[in-house]
Amino acid sequence: MLYYGVFWLTIGLVNIVVQNLWFGTDLTTAFLSAFPFFALYPILGASIWFIIKYNSLEEKDLYWVLLYHLIAGSLLNAIWLYLGFIFIKLVDESYLQILYDSLPNKIFSGYVMYTIYVMFFYTINYYQSLKEKIQKEAELKALIREAELNALKSQINPHFLFNSLNSIASLTLSAPEKAQEMVINLSRFMRYSLQHDQDEAVSLADELENIKLYLSIEKVRFGKKLNPVFDIEEGCHRCQIPNMILQPLFENAIKYGVYEATSPVSITTTCRIKEKHILICIENDYDPEAIRNRGEGIGLQNIRQRLSLIYGSADLLKLTDNKTSFKVELLLPKTIPA
Amino acid sequence: MKQTLKALIIEDEELARNLLKSYLKDHPSLELIGECENGFEGVQKINELKPDVVFLDIQMPKITGFEMLELLDHKPEIIFTTAYDQYAIKAFDYNAQDYLLKPFSKERLLKAIDKVQERIDKGERSTNRLEQLNTYAVEEYLDRIVVKDRHKINIIPVDQVRYIESLDDYVLIYTQDGRHMKQKTMKYFESNLNPRDFIRIHRSYIVHIEDMAEIQQYEKESYVVILKDKTKLKVSKTGYKKIKESLHF
C-alpha cells in the first residue's frame, strides 16, 4: 500500500517536472494535467483490486468477467472524470475548457488505464495465489509426513507392538492357529500404511478395512472388553477420504476407553451420507472414574490441521464428551478437492 | 531346604496371564495362589492371601501397578512384567526384584524366580523396603493420587487437593470432602507435584496455589497463608520466598 502511494507520487512529480522543464508548461497547468492521472486515478484504481479479487478468472465465465469489467470500468471512468471536473473547477475554472476539448481523449485514456490496472492486479493476484498454493502444498506435505510418522509410531508403539507379540507368544502355546491368524493380521495392518503413504486420498472402504484389522488385533488382546460395532450406510464405501485420518481416532478410543475399563466397552462407528457430505461418527464408552489428562494430543491436532488444509475449513472435526462416552464426528465433503 | 513360594499374578490381559501360568505350571517350588485382573483386586488379594512373590503388570485399568504398591499393608517381593521399559528406573526405585520385558522367555522368568527364592532362603526379605520410595522426580508430574481409606480405594485427581500436611511418616491430603492419609514423604510430593500448581510453603505444608486466598503478615518476617475456606497455614522463610517467586510479587 505504501509502495503503491510512493510509486504514483514519484511518477506524478517526475511528470510535472518533465512537463515544466521540457515543454515549458507552467506549473499549474502541469499539475492540473498530471493530477487526474497520477493521483486521482491511482486512488480510485485501488478499488479495482477488490473488483478483481471477487472476479477471479478461474472461477467465473470469461464473458461475465468481461461484462463485469466493462460496467465497472465505465463507472470508474465516470467517477474519475466527474471528480477531475470538480477538482479543476475548485482550483481554476479557466482550465475547464482544456478538459472539455480533450474529453474524448480523456475517456479513452481512462479505459486504457483501467485495462492496465486490471491486468496489473490480475498478475499480482495470480502471483500471490500461486505463492499461497505452493506454501499450502508444502504445509500439507509436511503434515502428511507427520501423519505417516505418527501411524508408524503407533504401530511400533511399545504398548501395542510388544503386548501384541506377547499375545502371540501366549497363543502359540494354547491356540497355534489363532497365533498364525494374528501374525497375518498384524503384518497386513503394518503393510497398509507403508503401501498408502504416498497417496493423499483413499476410499473409505480401504480405510475401514484397515481399521477392522487394527481392532481385530486389539480384540485378541482385550477379548470381550473390546466390542467394535460398525454401521456403514450403503454408498459410503466409495467416498474418498484423506489417508490415515481414522486410525488415530480409533487408537484414542482404545487408549481412553478400553484400556482404562474393567467392563466391556463398545466402539461404535457409523457412516452416513448427508447430501454432499459424509458423516463419520466414532463413539466409545469410557469409565468416568478413570482420571486421565484428556488434552488434545498430537494426533488430533494433526488431523485438524490436515482437514483445514485439504478442505479449507477448520470445523470438520467435532468432539463431544458426554461424561460416560466420547464421540468424534467427522463431516467431510464426498470428494477431496484437487 | 527350599521353601515353596506363594505367587500371585496381577495382569489385565488374559492371554498374558495364560502365558505366565503355563510358564509357572510345572515349577517345583512355586505355587500359584491366585490371579487378578486389576490393581483394586490386587490390593485385596495381596492383603488377604499374603503371597511371597507377585508378578505385576504396570499399565492396568483403574490404578497402575506402582499406585497399587503404595496401598499395600503386606509387602511381597515384586517382579514387574511390562511391555515397555520407560518404567525401568521407577521400578528400580520401588525395589523391584526383577523387571521382565514382554514377551519374555520361560528361562528368563525362572531366573527371576530363582533370585527371589535365594533371597528369601537367606532370610533377606525386603519387607519394609518399599517405604523408602523414590524421592527424585520422575519424568511426569502426578495427575492423581491413590489412597486407601479403610477398605475403600480412592483416586484423587491432583486438582482436587487443597493442601498436604506432614504427619510423622505419613502425610494428610486435604480435599474438598475430607482428608486422606498416605504413607509417603513430603519430599516425594514436593518433587512429584507440578511446581506450577503446588508450593511447599513450610516443612509441614504443601499448598495448592489455586486454593490460596490471602497471605498475611502476623509478625515481622513471619507469614500465614489463608486458604479459600479460611484455613490458616504457617509459612516458613524459604516458603515465603517460593511463594513470591511463583506468584511474581
**Which of B10, B15, B80, B175 would best serve as a mutation to test chain A binding (most A beta carbons within 10 A)?**
B15
* CB contact (8 A) between residue A173 and residue B83: no
DSSP at A306: H
Assign residue B117 the CATH number of its domain.
Answer: 3.40.50.2300
Chosen domain end from B105, B131, B157? B131
- Contact assessment for residue A99 and residue A84, using Cβ atoms and an 8 Å cutoff: yes
**Could you report the per-residue pLDDT of A23-33, keeping only the tens digit for each?**
777 777 777 77
- Of the residues B100, B131, B162, the one at which a domain ends: B131
Name the minimum distance, in Å, from the CA of B119 to any CA of chain A: 29
The CATH code of the domain that includes B180 is 2.40.50.1020
What grid cell was written down for A94? Answer: 479557466
Is-contact A263 A250, C-beta < 8 A? no
Same domain, B37 and B108: yes
Q: What is the pLDDT of residue A313?
A: 81
Report the pLDDT averaged over residues A173-181: 95
* Total tally of structural domains belonging to chain B: 2
Chain A closest-CA separation from residue B168 CA (Å): 29
Region B214-240: mean pLDDT is 89
Give the DSSP letter of residue A286.
-
Q: In this complex, do A223 and B14 lie within 8 Å of one another by their Cβ atoms? A: yes
Inform me whether the pLDDT recorded for B241 exceeds 70: yes
Three cell numbers at B126? 525386603
- Check A221 against B102: CB less than 8 A apart: no
If asked whether residues B58 and B164 sit together in one domain, one would say no
CA distance B224 to B214: 8
Residue A293: what pLDDT? Answer: 53
**Does residue B125 share a domain with residue B9?**
yes
Instruction: Work out the mean pLDDT of chain A and round it to a whole number.
Output: 83
Contacts A–B by Cβ distance under 8 A: 70
* pLDDT (tens digit per residue) in B107-131: 999 999 998 888 888 876 654 444 4
Closest CA to A81 of A101, A60, A110: A110
How does pLDDT run across B58-86, given as a tens digit for each residue? 888 888 898 898 888 888 999 999 887 77
Both B109 and B182 in a single domain? no
- CA distances to A1, A28, A206, B84, B169 from A34, rounded to whole Å, are 21, 10, 67, 79, 92
Are residues B206 and B179 located together in one domain of the fold? yes
**Contact between A162 and B84 using a beta-carbon 8 Å cutoff:** yes
Task: Tally Cβ neighbours within 10 Å of residue A200.
Answer: 14
SS (H, E, C) chain B: CCCCEEEEEECCCHHHHHHHHHHHCCCCCEEEEEEECCHHHHHHHHHHHCCCEEEEECCCCCCCHHHHHCCCCCCCEEEEEECCHHHHHHHHHCCCCEEEECCCCHHHHHHHHHHHHHHHHCCCCCCCHHHCCCCCCCCCCCCEEEEEECCEEEEEEHHHEEEEEEECCEEEEEECCEEEEECCCHHHHHHHCCCCCEEEEECCEEEEHHHEEEEEEEECCEEEEEECCCCEEEECHHHHHHHHHHHCC
By CA distance, what is A292's nearest residue in B?
B143
- Cα B43 from chain centroid? 12
pLDDT at residue B95, rounded to an integer: 66
Residue B171 and residue B189 in contact, taking contact as beta carbons nearer than 8 Å: yes
Judgement on whether residues B41 and B126 belong to the same structural domain of the protein: yes
C-alpha cell at A183: 501374525
Question: Same domain for B74 and B102?
Answer: yes
- Does B149 share its domain with B122? no
**Confidence band of B136 (pLDDT split at 50, 70, 90):** very low
Over 60: is that where the pLDDT of A52 sits? yes
Q: What pLDDT is attached to residue A324?
A: 87
B194 to chain A, closest Cα gap in Å = 14
CB atoms B84 and A262 under 8 Å: no
Count CB atoms within 10 A of the CB of residue A291: 17
Write the Ramachandran bin of A191: left for phi over 0, alpha for psi from -120 to 50, otherwise beta: alpha
C-alpha dihedral sign at B216, B222, B225, B231:
negative
**pLDDT over threshold 60, residue B134:** no
My answer on whether B23 and B114 are in the same domain is yes
**B82 in any annotated domain:** yes
**B19:A166 CB<8 A:** yes
Indicate the SS3 state at residue A183: helix
A11 vs A333, higher pLDDT: A333
CA contacts within 13 A on the Cβ side of B170: 11
* Mean predicted confidence (pLDDT) in A324-332: 92
For B172-218, how does the pLDDT look when each residue is reduced to its tens digit (9 = 90+)? Answer: 999 988 899 998 889 989 988 999 899 999 999 999 999 999 998 88
* Grid cell at residue B110: 525362572
Rg of chain B (C-alpha set):
21
N-term to C-term CA, chain A: 33
Confidence category of residue B135, pLDDT binned at 50, 70, 90: very low
Instruction: Specify the residue for cell string 477379548.
Output: A223
- Tell me how far apart the alpha carbons of residues A156 and A70 are, in angstroms, rounded to a whole number: 63
End position of a domain, from candidates B72, B101, B131: B131
Q: Is the pLDDT of residue A294 over 60?
A: no
CATH of A156-333, picked from 3.30.420.40, 3.10.150.10, 3.30.565.10, 1.10.3720.10, is: 3.30.565.10
- Indicate the DSSP class of residue A39: I
Min Cα distance A261 → chain B (Å) is: 6
Nearest CA in chain A to B57: A163
Q: Where in chain A is the domain with CATH 3.30.565.10?
A: 156-333
Give the nearest chain B residue to A261 (CA atoms): B61
Instruction: Give a yes or no: residue B139 inside a domain.
Output: no
Query: Do A158 and B38 make contact, defined as CB atoms within 8 angstroms?
Result: no
Q: In this complex, which of B19, B83, B84 lies closest to A173 when CB atoms are compared?
A: B19
Choice among A92-96, A243-247, B63-67, B161-165 with the minimum mean pLDDT: A92-96
DSSP string spanning A72-97? HHHHHHHHHHHHHHHHHHHH-GGGHH
For residue B84, give how far its alpha carbon lies from the nearest alpha carbon of chain A (Å).
Answer: 6
Q: Say what the pLDDT of residue B132 is.
A: 42
Which domain covers residue B201, as residue numbers?
Answer: 144-247
- Read off the pLDDT of residues B137-183 as tens digits, 9 standing for 90 and up: 345 788 889 998 887 888 898 989 999 999 888 899 999 888 999 98
* Count of all residues that appear for chain A in the document: 338
pLDDT at A56 over 70: no
Q: Is A166 helix (H, G, I), strand (E, B) or coil?
A: helix
| Set of chain A residues whose Cβ sits within 8 Å of the Cβ of B15 | 166-167, 170-171, 174, 220-221
Count CA within 13 A, CB hemisphere, residue B113. 24
ipTM over 0.85: no
pTM: 0.68
Which range has the worst mean pLDDT, A195-204, B24-33, B141-150? A195-204
Judge: A159–B37 Cβ closer than 8 Å, yes or no: no
Residue pair B154/B169 in contact by the 8 Å Cβ criterion: no
Q: Does one domain contain both B59 and B156?
A: no
Q: pLDDT band for A148, please (50, 70, 90 cuts).
A: confident
pLDDT at A59 over 90: no
> How far apart are the C-alpha atoms of A19 and A27, rounded to whole Å?
8
With a cut of 50, say whether residue B223 has pLDDT above it. Answer: yes
